[in-house]
Amino acid sequence: MEALVLTGKKQLELEDIDVPEVKPNEVLIHTAYAGICGTDHALYAGLPGSADAVPPIVLGHENSGVIAKVGDEVTNVKVGDRVSVDPNIYCGQCKYCHTARPELCENLSAVGVTRNGGFEEYFTAPATVVYQVPDNVDLKSASIVEPISCAVHGIKLLKPSPYQKALVIGDGFMGELFVQILQAYGIHQVDLAGIVDEKLAMNKELFNAKNTYNTAKGDKVPANEYDMVIEAVGLPQTQELAIESSARGGQVMMFGVGGPDAKFEMNTYEVFQKELTIQGSFINPNAFEDSLALLSSGKLNVKPLMSHELNYQQVDDFVNGKLGVVSKAVVKVAGEEA
């Protein structure tokens, strides 16, 4: 079968490899679509993701497809089911798994990171991380349930309440997801700060962002204003802005992934005086069912955010920044006909 293999740092090769064997507790999935995210950029550049990817490896931890074969011990899905896969596989034995914090698992493995993922015609996954896709959700949308679930997990770590005003910093794909998901969780006003006029306008027109700020053009984000701030960029200047824009009693989610050695300055008296909650968020435990429900209910519309549909040959250009402004790119493998 055809597969796009990461063979080394910044090296992607299209290869013909064997269809994987299915273990008793696994399923074989005919890949429909595989999303590409910032983690894939990092893995391509030799940086860690949720875990280390050791070449040769097939990336693609955001994916959807159709069950082609099931192992003897599998009971939750059957051949022909349309599915999406939570890539993260927890050991169930370490202290974090035993204390209901599996995202911090000391032995985390992941489809498309530590084992072959969706950038191939067929891949395997443990049945425990496979979720049936509702009939009214297409497989292209289902391929990006994983990033949706990461945002949902982040919000679950906070205390959303309808009275709150929220600010999302970052008009990339994850920031745009947060604009919709915060409202789905009851937040009555969501504002968006970013750097691309077209994205800001779209989120105002289609997704009910009330106020938008283009910080690249000098727009000033109000200080001490927001009950909840989602930082979805990962740069020191936007992390500092998140603290500055938070109101008394505010909750600040540091969601954007910074560089391994990056640091930002913070006024500790301001944290004390405002009684801030500053929260990190890592991956997506127990959030797939909610994410699929958001898609199925229509409260989350991802179609306008999926700007590029690629083939294998175009992935290298994408990760090297040759395709220009991209909101969200997915690789079409077999497509809806999987």
Tens of pLDDT, residue by residue over 47-99, are: 877 788 899 999 999 999 999 999 999 999 999 999 999 999 999 999 999 99
CB 78 within 8 A of CB 69: no
Per-residue confidence (pLDDT) for residue 197, from 0 to 100: 96
Per-residue confidence (pLDDT) for residue 164, from 0 to 100: 98
Per-residue confidence (pLDDT) for residue 338, from 0 to 100: 83
Shortest CA distance to 178 belongs to which of 207, 140, 137?
207
- CA dihedral for 57, 62, 65, 70, sign (positive or negative): positive
Which regions of the chain are under pLDDT 70?
none
Per-residue confidence (pLDDT) for residue 38, from 0 to 100: 84
How far is Cα 115 from Cα 258, in angstroms, rounded to an integer? 25
DSSP of 292-336, one letter per residue?
A: HHHHHHTS---GGG--EEE-HHHHHHHHTTTT-S-S-EEEESSGG
Shortest CA distance to 331 belongs to which of 114, 119, 70?
119
CB 298 within 8 A of CB 2: no
Tens of pLDDT, residue by residue over 91-102, are: 999 999 999 999
CB 162 within 8 A of CB 187: yes
Which amino acid would we find at residue 271?
A: V
Per-residue confidence (pLDDT) for residue 102, from 0 to 100: 97
CB 265 within 8 A of CB 240: yes
Per-residue confidence (pLDDT) for residue 319, from 0 to 100: 86
Phi, psi of 234 (to 5 degrees): 95, 20
CB 306 within 8 A of CB 11: no
| Contacting residues for 323 by C-beta, under 8 A, at least 6 apart | 308, 314, 317, 329
Per-residue confidence (pLDDT) for residue 253, from 0 to 100: 98
How far is Cα 335 from Cα 338, in angstroms, rounded to an integer? 6
Q: What is the pTM of this model?
A: 0.96
Structure tokens belonging to residue 247? 């109101």
How far is Cα 157 from Cα 159, in angstroms, rounded to an integer? 7
